[in-house]
Amino acid sequence: MSLLPPDPDLPTARGVALTQTHSSHSNSSGPLHSRLERPTLRIALMVALLLVLGGLAQAAWSHPALGFDVVPLRWLHANATPTLDQIMLTLTTLSDPPEMAGLLALTLLALCLTRRFREAAALLIIAGGAEVIDLLLKEVFHRSRPALWTTLIPETDYSFPSGHAMFTAVLLGAALLWCWNTRWRIPVLLLGGAFTVLVGLSRVYLGVHFPSDILAAWCLAALWILALSLLPVRAAWAWVQTRLNARA
């Protein structure tokens, strides 16, 4: 496996097996899958995401914050309850860097133990690249955290984009990239998508991020995954294998 999902145009044994496995229940969604796998559509999605990201970046430069960034924060705080506080604290704790790093390490260990080294390398590139993008943009924008009330979890670093939201979203994107043509696509999308959205909501609820921080993180995660999915990884890997075989 590579950074790309299985290519339906390649007559590999794995592709044939997947086609046979899912032919009985994917006829209605097959054309949609084909369209989603076209580079032109991925590029169009990237352009749309860049336009949205440009607007969010402009909001991040605004001082004071724009109304659409402040109103949801005030509304959520006005409707806060002790029960919701505990739920949101749990959600944000599950997505804290140590917890995410532990999950990443366990996943990499499992991949290496099963000798799936290409998947492990791809996951490192996806996760590591997302972390670098997040840290660089925080330094570029220097956006301060919301200071509307005393939060339950004080944060001291910069706000734009949200690292919690970006990392959970990029891991969801990686999982979807690899299971897109399998039966796990819908469960991963529903469960992973729900967790990603709830983590983003928890960061706004707790008052440590503006909504634009969360939306920008999701856009960046999608852009990073789409950009990697367009790389000619299969061709490069085939070239490397050919060269290694020739030398052997």
Closest CA to 5 of 47, 42, 45: 42
Question: What are 215-241's pLDDT values in tens digits?
Answer: 999 999 999 998 887 776 555 555 555
CA–CA separation, 227 and 174 (whole Å): 12
Tens-level pLDDT at each residue, the chain (248 residues):
345 444 444 344 344 333 444 444 444 444 444 555 677 888 888 899 999 999 999 989 988 788 889 999 999 999 999 999 999 999 999 999 999 999 999 989 998 999 888 888 888 999 999 999 999 999 999 999 998 888 889 888 899 999 999 999 999 988 887 887 888 889 999 999 999 999 999 999 999 999 999 999 999 999 999 888 777 655 555 555 566 566 65
CA–CA separation, 143 and 161 (whole Å): 9
105: enclosing H helix or E strand: helix 97-113
What are the CA-CA distances from residue 79 to residues 62, 63, 115, 192, 206 (Å)? 26, 26, 50, 26, 12
